[in-house]
Amino acid sequence: MKQISAIIDQLDVILSENFPDTAGLRQFSYVLVGQPETDMLEWLNAQSCYPKFYWQQRDEHEEVALCSSARTFGHLSAAQAFLQQYPQLTELRIWGLNAFHGADAMVAENIASEANTLFLPRIEISRRDNQYTLLCHLYSTDSLRDEARQMRIFLRSLVKSRPLPVLTAEVLQHQHLPTEPQWKQMIHTALTCIEQGQFDKVVLARKTTLTLRQPLNAAAFLAASRAVNHHCYHFMLAFTAQKAFLGSSPERLFLRESHALFTEALAGTVAGTIDNRKAQELGQWLLKDAKNQRENMLVVDDICQRLQGGTHSLDVTSAEILRLRKVQHLRRSIHAVLTYVDDADCLQRLQPTAAVAGLPRQAARDFIAQHEPFNRQWYAGSAGYISLARSEFAVALRSAAVNGSQLDLFAGAGIVAGSDAAQEWLEIENKAAGLRTLLDGNAQSVENDLSDENYAPAVRAG
């Protein structure tokens, strides 16, 4: 990426100075002039340091590439406490993933070690609109002098960008968990519980494991998704050269700007199509369908109830259609004014929402823990960042876990009274297809059929 090598040379000179043999945090900031020569995801993929994190906001105004960690955090509250030690650095950001269970103050012992993966990066390259910035964070709990030496070694390991490899993936076999018969039985059990009044809604998920002929490059896979799955957050956390978690999610968990909080209810689904007339017909049906409207309003009511006590006011918009490549969703946006700024509290209140767990939340989660035959880990958790000034997380949907030549795809469906097991199976097939079809070698032809105009929110109620 243009100018990176020159900035690294400047940093090397600065880091060779005599830093104190004490704990501390130093931030070095550089503005990159002009348009970078290469894609940020390409630059990130070329680096051999881990962890590596990529994130693009769904309106594409903001994009980041991060590599190596100056400090890691096991919970958002710990990250928040760290930021509060540096009130002068209001834009200092901590990035990463919160697991599906990771918003809990108390987490089961067997999943606690992987509940959250949050870190302060050593190097952060960001784009906000057309302005590019490079940040370097030097942090140590005992000696900035020693850390400066290590940082110089690390900076010399950074290499120039190179094109992403061609996405090639031959699927040798696939396995659904649960299988379709198991899914139907699970839906039957859930509907019985709903009829008995144990809960109103539960969101059940499926993991599809694909065995590939050769290891999959996670960055190339995400780049293919980014090219065709518009109006989505795109994120990837690479733990090693073989292991990564990534996704292209349409749903915001929350955006906080000072005391203003923005969240949404994304629930209610119908199939998507590239035929604009047919898509509008399906969208109008979705806006009028009682079952999907009920599912969406359950999520709205739950979010509003959970935010009570921490907000001055709440406003909810009318329903609109969010049109994506493979599906269309009902969406209502929610704006609140917080009585106090506490991102860990926002996460606790909002994650998981009824759109990914159910309602009442604890009863639904108990059902998921008892009946889903796999651990969700980061699926249906959240991906993003916190800072003192602004924080934003996407719900980790339409996501996948890469482990060498094994690829796990995740998708879920909301089960309410009146749900049909066969229709819900078709819904998760459509959701998983947003990533699955990228392996078929026709992503470019799909991209040529799509445009931002075609895949923007298309229909609003009222």
**What are phi and psi for residue 260, nearest 5 degrees?**
-85, 130
> Which two tokens mark 41?
């995801």
**What are phi and psi for residue 223, nearest 5 degrees?**
-60, -40
42 given a catalytic annotation: no
Is 170 annotated as ligand-binding?
no
Number of residues that this document lists for the chain: 462
383 Cβ contact list (under 8 Å, min separation 6): 55, 96, 97, 98, 233, 235, 237, 247, 249, 393, 394, 396
251 given a catalytic annotation: yes
Catalytic residue among 251, 320, 372, 392: 251
Is 295 annotated as ligand-binding?
yes
Answer yes or no: are the C-beta atoms of 415 and 355 closer than 8 Å: no
Q: What is the CA radius of gyration of the chain?
A: 22
Catalytic residue among 42, 52, 63, 201: 201
Active site positions, annotated: 201, 251
What residues are designated binding site?
A: 295, 427
What residues are designated binding site for Mg(2+)?
A: 295, 427
